[in-house]
Structure 1
Amino acid sequence: MTLTAVSVDERLRLAKDAARQVGLLDSAAKTGMLRAIADAIDSATDTIVAANADDLERGRSAEIGDALLDRLRLDATRVAALATAVREVAELPDPVGRVLDRRTLPNGLELQKVAVPFGVVGSIYEARPNVTVDIAALALRAGNAVVLRGGSAAQSSNAALVEVMRQALASQRVSPEAIQTVDDFGRDGARALMNARGLVDVLVPRGSASLIETVVTESTVPVIETGAGVVHVYLDATARDEWARKIVLNAKTQRPSVCNAVETVLVHRDAADRLLPDLLGALAGAGVRVHGDDTTAGYDPRVVAATDADWATEYLSLDLAVRVVDDLDAALDHIRRYSTHHTESIITEDEAAATRFLAEVDSAVVLVNASTRFTDGGEFGFGAEVGISTQKLHARGPMGLAELTSTKWLGRGDGQVRT
């Protein structure tokens, strides 16, 4: 179903109207709707990949960089993964209608606090066509309409995906206006979305630190802040050699362009002689350029000197900052200073150190003896994710269905009046 509204406000109002219909669908109807979307994505693989090829060509010409090109790229395997994620969301328990609290007042008035849809969920993101599908699927499963601004880099891919999903909604007799995009309005569309208070109920930005900062500071619509990932792994004095090497390599190299990839490794001084020679060699073998302090550089001539800026850098590439610290307290101090409160992990066999790390690190996800790459809605069992919230209000960490609902109180009485 082709977009026909000629103004941003008109599209937002259509989304608001469609949200009422979606919000009243029962769980079975929402499941059927999402299954239809997944089937439609599978059927349109060639069309989607061809549209994505246009975006990739423009991205290369614009020299947007390898990290953004990787996030932008869709091939048949990634399109199939998008459809699979939608099917997984379709089978998740319906978050709407959950009873979160109940009580009976002394006068007999019965109260229930229940989960309800937000209404209209907006998202502003860049070079991530997977977000187009993930957020739409999660928003719809939670009974919401969705308005998307995916950025110019992925405009062809996003347009193809939105068209496919809107057609799937129409085939299920659900208003296709429940999925809207303002991409064709460019930056004016983004500004309108950020200031659509009363039409859009919540806005979720995903992308670079500058994009997120712009949305947070300029929006009049309530924003759930997702943050940049200056992510740390701390190798404690008792860290196993094999775990240290395996976890750091996975956290850095499996997909370096994502926000849960490690950017800084801290090494306890007492473990440096044991861990660093092998670890630095393994990183070099995997194509990682290490930016290290003076101590780290002494273990491998390939290490480049780190600057103060390196400790605060989200590389999103095969670059890694490595620093030797005196002890756990020094590691915690470094993390407090430079972390973006996304994900941190400690590798240790000291239970007391693990307990302190879990208690004292103020990040959305804190891990022991595991890769930071697990900070992900799919890995957490959400089917997909809206984003990874680094704020503390409403939602924190990977956001799934529950985070796309609000609450209301329902009361049933038999004539009570307040005295």
Structure 2
Amino acid sequence: MNANKWMSMQFFGFFFTFGIFVPYWSIWLVADKNFSPDQAGIIIAIGLLTRAMTTFFLFPLASQYMGLARLNQWVVFLSVLLFVLLIPANSFLAVIVTTFFISLLYPMPLAMHEAMASRLMKKGEIAYGRSRSFGSFGYIVALLLMGIMISILGERVIIYVMIGGLLLFALLASLRAPSTLREKNDPAGMSIKKLFQSKSFVFVLLLCVILQSAHAAYYSYAVLFLGNLGVRPEYIGFLLLIAVIAEIVFFFISDSLFKKGSVTTLLMFSVTASIVRWMSLFLFGNVFIFILSQLLHAFTFGLTQVAFMKYLDRHIKNQFFPYAHGLYAALGLSLGNGLLTIVSGYLFSISPSYAFLGMAIICLPCFLLIYLLKVTLKNHNDHKKSNEERQMHAN
């Protein structure tokens, strides 16, 4: 099996389960376990905090002792067992403890699969965008399937579909991986301190964390925002799907569309799209503008992801990929999102549109960061060119 197909299957397997876990888990906790919404919120919050710890500490550490393909297999097999343990767990404490251990393992592919893709990109074995599009496709399939299953069998079915999805993921993870991913990571010189010694990495990381975290108001309050606009509940899901469809199309064509684009140019597009998207929701409170803004998800989320991958491919060595993706997932997809959810919640309570104004304002410093990144990369390239010329003269 070629690397592109294998990586596509891993993205599909994980995000299929993520499409069940993220939107439906609170529903299952309330409907099947009979917890109050506040209790469900506490369980989910503990999971999010643990997820940040997993991608920041546990994944980079584990990748030093085990090949990424083998780690992928262990993570999904153990996740199946842990989710099964949730079925008989009925007390609040038992579910919290089980959730803690689930959150140590199950979210690891958020960083691990990106690190795998980075390593395969470095070897020229995959087209990242096309492979990653299968993850977004898996997420949509899960959303639609869960909606049908719940309407037929009720909310109790969520845990069983989740376990079924994990078994499918386990089957895909057991397929023979590309040889690049069966090798152990070389720990020589691998430290987060060395990664932060690169100014350009710090700027790129800050940019991508801000841009991804600025989705907090959309992820947490889009449903309420649409409800305030008078959209009926049965139509809200379809409006939210537009963003994921735009993301899939973008990833599918991004490899050819942005093959030669510089990282700073890609990030400039992403920052501009983010400010336009969030400002349009602040200024124009109507459904048509919301639909148009959904198309910009391809750039606010997808292009940010592609730019980060391109930067790593061009400027970072293989052994640093676990740390780089661990940081990105922990800060941009977990902690940053959580902090800005609190900020956007406060703003939403004043006026729903203010939440999106806040996200647009948070993106404004990104223009300065792009300028600093451009200067840093230029200085680095000039220094590298000067060293090469000195070597040529010496020879």
TM over 0.5, yes or no?
Answer: no
Which structure: larger Rg? Answer: 1
Between the two structures, name the one with larger relative contact order (CA 8 Å, sep ≥ 6).
Answer: 2
Q: TM-score, normalised by structure 2?
A: 0.29
Bigger proportion of residues as strand: 1
Q: TM-score, normalised by structure 1?
A: 0.28
Bigger proportion of residues as helix: 2
